[in-house]
A and B are shown apart, each in its own frame.
Chain A
Amino acid sequence: MTTRIRNFSIIAHIDHGKSTLADRLLERTGAIPERDMKAQLLDTMDIERERGITIKAQAVHINYPAQDGLTYALNLIDTPGHVDFSYEVSRSLAAVEGALLVVDASQGIQAQTLANTYMAVEAGLEIVPVINKIDLPAAEPARVAAEVAAVIGGSPDDAIRISAKTGEGVDELLEAIVTRLPAPSGESTAPLRALIFDSYFDSYRGVICYVRVMDGTLATGDSLRFLATGLRDHADEVGILTPDAVPVASLGPGETGYLVTGVKEIDLVRVGDTITQSDRPASEALPGYREPTPMVFSGLFPTDGDDFERLRDALDKLRLNDSSLTFEPETSAALGFGFRCGFLGLLHLEIVRERLEREYDLDLVATAPSVQYRAHTTDGKIVEVRSPQELPAPNQLTGIEEPFVKVMMLSPSEYVGTVMELAQQRRGVTGELTYLTPDRVEINYEIPLAEVVFDFFDQLKSRTRGYASLDYEPAGYRTSELSKVDILLNGQAVDAFSTVIHKDKAYSYGATMTKRLRELIPRQLFDVPIQAAIGSRIIARETVKAKRKDVTAKCYGGDISRKRKLLERQKEGKKRMKMVGSVEVPNEAFIEALKIGDFE
């Protein structure tokens, strides 16, 4: 039966047309009537549609009548296309036998695509290169096909030229999926092994997993065991996505679909885990599962303290859908109760925050993002530091290590100078250049993660007019000259503004924050000194001068009600302030001051 199944992913850079191509495939095979098509059908989350990127992998089952007269089941597993989400990409790739490498005919291959392609090749997938957007005036399909062939091997003629927008070449591509990609293998009689490659929480039905059956059969009513987390449950329903959910009796080897278990313990269902039957368990889990490793940490606090439990609930639900999100309760003197959250990167942070605010109607303050440092203390211990508050006092420190990443950038050769300059400004070391073709260069650096996660990507894009692309992987810890900068209001440190930063950047951080806060904190009845300090050493200072005039000029018979109401309204407005010691700080000040920006 598996001979008539093809499981595949699409690897593409942001904006190279992956979602449009997926839509076109669904439309061509009649999976979705044309009138139901909305642009980017597979990207169901609002944020995905607005940002034009894919965050969550999704799976769709398509029936395709091929030219050989047989009907094939094509399972398309969509993959995220941003550098923050490479673990999810690797799980999606583990669920398929082949991949379409979609490259924009006018832009050529990008670093992220290249990294994912290497990942796919390593996973043993068959790659079909697809040159998209051949309808664009700037398209250079021949040049791009040659570039792709140079990277993955084979001939430039292997690439299928299409326009997902106009539909040109899509029929040829569908045939190639059937003829060039291998059918899955798998033993239907072996013990069940199904890979979870995605999951989400439905408030009525509990956790819903997207699975790929590798061996055995997954049937409705089966008693199940999740090998990594030890969860036991049974299959309430299994089915396929067309993309609507259609229940089926069972999923056999090579098939993909969804599984409803009714599980509510959402942290026990993790992407990458293997599901087996509890009465006939597989002896070995599928390879490749790993605990998610967040790279960037930030405190999320509800602006209204009463929303703390709602925030916890929302994070619980999000994590199910996003196994790379971690969180633990955190208390801030300035911001109250919240969570220290771990993210894959800054985009991931922004997306999680936006989803929390939009889908769960929460109003949040996020503290300055931080990476995980390692502090060496005088008593010979190593302390993992995820929040500036956890950093031991300077007199108990012998050193601090910070995580480095190996950064790979692909750029047109004319921008090599500016890319290297950026890498060096960001404390990059051991630069390395490789010319892929005479006008495309691979640039490798080791750069502190803290320098990469903030606005490195944006800077790279703006300095190369959008042509350079980026990927990175962890490269271990190294000792750096780091210090903790505190921001003090009226002499009292505000934990939410503290940060760990390289000594060369401490002054600009201190100066920027104190200046920003001077603008953001309204004048009070007394002078409010704003200081930036490393330990007890003040490195920047601003003052919010005391308010001198707070009085209404006229208050006569006709004014009394009006003035009184005005004063009462102003008093009401003060409730939206947070008290830091005796200083009133508007909620907006926290949000504005902590906006990520350039501190140079």
Chain B
Amino acid sequence: MTAAYVHVPFCGRVCPYCDFAVVAGRDGLMDRYVDALISEIGMEQSIPALDAVFVGGGTPSRLPAESLARILQALTDRFGFADNVEVSLEANPEDWTEELAAGLVRAGFNRVSFGAQSFDPGVLRYLGRQHSPADIDNGVAVSRRAGFASVSLDLIFGAPLETPASWSATVDAALKLEPDHVSTYALTVERGTALSRLVSAGAAAPDPDDQADKYELAQRRLVAAGLDHYEVSNYARAGHECRYNLNTWAQGDYVAFGLGAHGHVGGLRRRNVRNLDTYLDRVAGGERPELGREVIHGWDQELERAFLGVRMRKGVEVGRVAPALLSDPEGRQLVDGGVVAIRGDRLQVIDPLLTDAVARVVLGLAEPDQALSTRT
């Protein structure tokens, strides 16, 4: 399976918790940026026809439909699209109009993921969002009418001012819209963000126990509503799992374009510059806007496979990791303590809230052969 990621950094304003490559107040550069994306796509090596495309941000829905159509066209021209290709974009509910939605469907988009975040106006304000709960309802309805095959909602839980009742109401309001896919994210204080500065200055921080409660509440409700909990933070109706993300978690190949974008082809991971002007200058100069690269291979690749795979609720193929885990004292503790289980040929985290405790141990495992040779 192959995929492509396209990053659109433009935002009306930067949300206080966001640490992605984003810019606000620079919409005047949109046309140049789209041109640059198309040039960058032209510089990429050939890979088999794409099974999934994801246009993320930032706020891709700030771009005109024609610009987004040009980007898709460039991808088709360069790589070709497989049959049944999944073509997603991220959208802010306040940008969404009948016209834009129709234009995007015409251009080839068939999946939209809304940054809904909450149905509580107070929480939306805290999160720095511009839309109202009604905008979300409207966005979903418009998408259905326009013919999007799959509609997803992103929700953020655990803001310090969010009550358990507020979160419960948000989950119910989301389910009422019958989304095909839901992502639920614990609000995280990332370094360098406005939120992080506020918390350092003494503002309330998210409480991990409150977030655990809310995580479990969402898990119960969403699963009860018929959505499959397929990854730590993701739920989908059958057949609506995000194929683009499934590919990255399965260490598949994906090319990536735009500010701060990361691609991975054949064990080579590349990342782009995060500064908009540098990006535009580099591409204008006929250069790839690459900031760095790393090669993932051998045992390292095996560990990464497991580290990504344990985020999947169905687990990950045991491969060479399971024996290493069982011969590691900490790994043994996780198995004996019921945090992780080996079921048939799969390694599975029992409580998804403790996934990182498992991932940390997995990433520290010694290669079994080496472990054996150092012991003898």
User: Which chain A residues have a beta carbon within 8 Å of chain B's beta carbons?
Assistant: 525-526, 547-558, 560-561, 564, 567-568, 570-571, 574, 582
Q: In the complex, are the beta carbons of B233 and A561 less than 8 A apart?
A: no
A-B contact pairs, 13 of them (CB 8 A): A525-B334, A547-B357, A549-B211, A549-B215, A551-B186, A552-B355, A553-B233, A555-B232, A555-B308, A557-B264, A567-B363, A568-B364, A574-B360
Stretch from B68-76, B104-112, B253-261 contacting the other chain: B253-261
Q: In the complex, are the beta carbons of B339 and A525 less than 8 A apart?
A: yes
Which among B185, B271, B354 is the interface contact of A561 at CB below 8 angstroms? B271
Q: In the complex, are the beta carbons of B188 and A560 less than 8 A apart?
A: no
B359 interface contact, C-beta 8 A:
yes
Bound Cα distance from A451 to B64, whole angstroms: 79
Q: In the complex, are the beta carbons of A552 and B208 less than 8 A apart?
A: no
- Chain A residues, Cβ within 8 Å of B82: none
Which among A548, A570, A571 is the interface contact of B353 at CB below 8 angstroms? A548
Q: With A526-B337, A550-B353, A582-B333 known to touch, is A561 a contact of B262 (CB < 8 Å)?
A: yes
Q: What is the 8 Å Cβ interface bit string for chain B, positions 220-233, against chain A (1 contact, 0 not)?
A: 00000000000011
Q: With A551-B232, A561-B262 known to touch, is A556 a contact of B186 (CB < 8 Å)?
A: no
Q: In the complex, are the beta carbons of B360 and A570 less than 8 A apart?
A: yes
- Chain A residues, Cβ within 8 Å of B232: 551-553, 555
Q: With A549-B186, A553-B233, A555-B311 known to touch, is A560 a contact of B304 (CB < 8 Å)?
A: yes
Q: In the complex, are the beta carbons of B209 and A571 less than 8 A apart?
A: no
Bound Cα distance from A560 to B270, whole angstroms: 11
Q: A525-B334, A550-B353, A560-B269 are in contact. List 16 more A-B contacts (CB 8 A).
A: A525-B337, A525-B354, A548-B209, A548-B353, A549-B353, A551-B353, A551-B354, A554-B185, A554-B233, A557-B5, A557-B262, A558-B5, A558-B262, A571-B360, A571-B361, A571-B364
Q: In the complex, are the beta carbons of A567 and B307 less than 8 A apart?
A: yes
Q: With A548-B209, A553-B233, A561-B294 known to touch, is A567 a contact of B360 (CB < 8 Å)?
A: yes
A551: nearest residue on chain B (CB-CB)? B355
- Chain B residues, Cβ within 8 Å of A558: 5, 20, 256, 260-262, 271
- Residue of A526, A550, A554 with most chain B CB atoms under a 10 A cut-off: A550
- Chain B residues, Cβ within 8 Å of A526: 337
B352 interface contact, C-beta 8 A:
yes
Q: In the complex, are the beta carbons of A551 and B248 less than 8 A apart?
A: no
- Smallest distance from the beta carbon of B8 to chain A beta carbons, Å? 13
Which among A547, A552, A556, A571 is the interface contact of B245 at CB below 8 angstroms? A556
B357: nearest residue on chain A (CB-CB)? A550
Q: What is the 8 Å Cβ interface bit string for chain B, positions 341-371, against chain A (1 contact, 0 not)?
A: 0000000000011111101110110000000
B212 interface contact, C-beta 8 A:
yes
B254: nearest residue on chain A (CB-CB)? A557
- Chain B residues, Cβ within 8 Å of A574: 360
Q: In the complex, are the beta carbons of A548 and B212 less than 8 A apart?
A: yes
- Smallest distance from the beta carbon of A434 to chain B beta carbons, Å? 55
Q: With A525-B357, A551-B353, A568-B364 known to touch, is A560 a contact of B333 (CB < 8 Å)?
A: no
Q: In the complex, are the beta carbons of B188 and A553 less than 8 A apart?
A: yes
- Smallest distance from the beta carbon of B37 to chain A beta carbons, Å? 16
- Chain A residues, Cβ within 8 Å of B334: 525
- Chain B residues, Cβ within 8 Å of A571: 360-361, 363-364
Q: In the complex, are the beta carbons of B363 and A553 less than 8 A apart?
A: no
Q: What is the 8 Å Cβ interface bit string for chain B, positions 263-289, against chain A (1 contact, 0 not)?
A: 110000101000000000000000000
Identify which of residues 1-37 in chain B touch chain A, using a CB-to-CB cut-off of 8 Å: 5, 20
Which among B208, B263, B294, B355 is the interface contact of A548 at CB below 8 angstroms? B208
Bound Cα distance from A551 to B359, whole angstroms: 9
Bound Cα distance from A561 to B293, whole angstroms: 10
Q: What is the 8 Å Cβ interface bit string for chain B, positions 171-185, against chain A (1 contact, 0 not)?
A: 000000000000001
- Chain A residues, Cβ within 8 Å of B353: 548-551
Q: In the complex, are the beta carbons of A549 and B209 less than 8 A apart?
A: yes
Q: In the complex, are the beta carbons of A568 and B354 less than 8 A apart?
A: no
- Smallest distance from the beta carbon of A474 to chain B beta carbons, Å? 50
Q: In the complex, are the beta carbons of A553 and B186 less than 8 A apart?
A: yes
- Chain B residues, Cβ within 8 Å of A555: 232, 249, 308, 311
Bound Cα distance from A556 to B57, whole angstroms: 13
Bound Cα distance from A501 to B363, whole angstroms: 46
- Residue of A549, A564, A567, A574 with most chain B CB atoms under a 10 A cut-off: A549
- Smallest distance from the beta carbon of B270 to chain A beta carbons, Å? 11
- Chain A residues, Cβ within 8 Å of B352: 551
- Smallest distance from the beta carbon of A115 to chain B beta carbons, Å? 51
- Chain B residues, Cβ within 8 Å of A547: 208, 354, 357
- Smallest distance from the beta carbon of B14 to chain A beta carbons, Å? 17
- Smallest distance from the beta carbon of B139 to chain A beta carbons, Å? 22
A566: nearest residue on chain B (CB-CB)? B356
- Chain B residues, Cβ within 8 Å of A582: 333
Q: In the complex, are the beta carbons of B363 and A564 less than 8 A apart?
A: yes
Bound Cα distance from A560 to B251, whole angstroms: 10
Bound Cα distance from A202 to B20, whole angstroms: 60
Q: With A548-B208, A564-B363, A567-B307 known to touch, is A557 a contact of B356 (CB < 8 Å)?
A: no
B352: nearest residue on chain A (CB-CB)? A551
Which among A553, A554, A564 is the interface contact of B304 at CB below 8 angstroms? A564
Bound Cα distance from A556 to B360, whole angstroms: 17
Q: With A560-B269, A568-B363 known to touch, is A550 a contact of B356 (CB < 8 Å)?
A: yes
- Chain A residues, Cβ within 8 Å of B249: 555
Bound Cα distance from A517 to B109, whole angstroms: 56
- Chain A residues, Cβ within 8 Å of B209: 548-549
Bound Cα distance from A561 to B260, whole angstroms: 13
Bound Cα distance from A490 to B209, whole angstroms: 22
- Smallest distance from the beta carbon of B31 to chain A beta carbons, Å? 24
Q: In the complex, are the beta carbons of A549 and B185 less than 8 A apart?
A: no
- Chain A residues, Cβ within 8 Å of B185: 553-554
Bound Cα distance from A553 to B18, whole angstroms: 13
Q: In the complex, are the beta carbons of B308 and A560 less than 8 A apart?
A: yes
Q: In the complex, are the beta carbons of B248 and A556 less than 8 A apart?
A: yes
- Chain A residues, Cβ within 8 Å of B263: 557
Bound Cα distance from A571 to B361, whole angstroms: 8
Q: In the complex, are the beta carbons of B233 and A549 less than 8 A apart?
A: no
Q: With A561-B262, A567-B359 known to touch, is A549 a contact of B212 (CB < 8 Å)?
A: yes
- Chain B residues, Cβ within 8 Å of A554: 185, 188, 233
B210: nearest residue on chain A (CB-CB)? A549
Q: In the complex, are the beta carbons of A564 and B307 less than 8 A apart?
A: yes
Bound Cα distance from A80 to B233, whole angstroms: 67
- Chain A residues, Cβ within 8 Å of B215: 549
A574: nearest residue on chain B (CB-CB)? B360
- Smallest distance from the beta carbon of A565 to chain B beta carbons, Å? 10
- Chain A residues, Cβ within 8 Å of B269: 560-561
- Smallest distance from the beta carbon of A522 to chain B beta carbons, Å? 12
B209: nearest residue on chain A (CB-CB)? A548
B261: nearest residue on chain A (CB-CB)? A558
- Which 8 pairs show the lowest CB-CB distances between chains A and B? A548-B212, A553-B185, A549-B212, A558-B262, A551-B355, A557-B248, A549-B208, A553-B186
Bound Cα distance from A568 to B360, whole angstroms: 6
A582: nearest residue on chain B (CB-CB)? B333
- Chain B residues, Cβ within 8 Å of A557: 5, 248, 254, 256, 262-264
B215: nearest residue on chain A (CB-CB)? A549
- Chain A residues, Cβ within 8 Å of B294: 561
Bound Cα distance from A526 to B337, whole angstroms: 9
Q: In the complex, are the beta carbons of A552 and B356 less than 8 A apart?
A: yes
- Chain A residues, Cβ within 8 Å of B361: 571
